[in-house]
Amino acid sequence: MTVTIFHNPRCSKSRQTLALLEEKGISPIIRDYLNDALSVDEIDNILSLLNIEPRDLMRKKEAEYAENNLADAGLSRQDLLKVMIKYPKLIERPIVLANGKAAIGRPPENVLTIL
């Protein structure tokens, strides 16, 4: 089984989720999405797997959310995806992919449901 974690090493929940995976004997592919940006297709796939919309995957308290007026209902899905590519720290973390499914590790135990 291939497991991928979209990881931010500075985030405590991301570190806890990675540790939980390792405790379960899983050596995930670690993708530092802040330095290895996701593509629009990757984000779109993650949204599909999570069955959520772009804003549901955004960290609304980040300055970039307000600065880019991302609460504006007039913004299209494509507009939101482009902003997530430009400002990857807006993307909620960590995200784990496994078995054709996705989970957000908030709390970290959430990822156990897809393993």
Residue 87: the pLDDT is: 97
- pLDDT for 94 equals 98
Query: Which is catalytic among the residues 4, 11, 52, 55?
Result: 11
CATH topology of domain 39-91: Glutaredoxin (3.40.30)
CATH topology for the 1-33+93-115 domain: Glutaredoxin (3.40.30)
Preceding omega of 28 cis (within 30 degrees of 0): no
Tokens 């500075």, residue?
A: 10
Digit-coded pLDDT (tens) for 22-78: 999 999 999 999 999 999 999 999 999 999 999 999 999 999 999 999 999 999 999
Residues 83-113: tens digit of each pLDDT: 999 999 999 999 999 999 999 999 999 999 9
Tokens of 38: 């996701």
CATH 3.40.30.10 residue spans of the chain: 1-33+93-115, 39-91
Q: Is 37 a catalytic residue?
A: no
pTM of the model: 0.94
- What is the predicted pLDDT for the residue at 113? 96
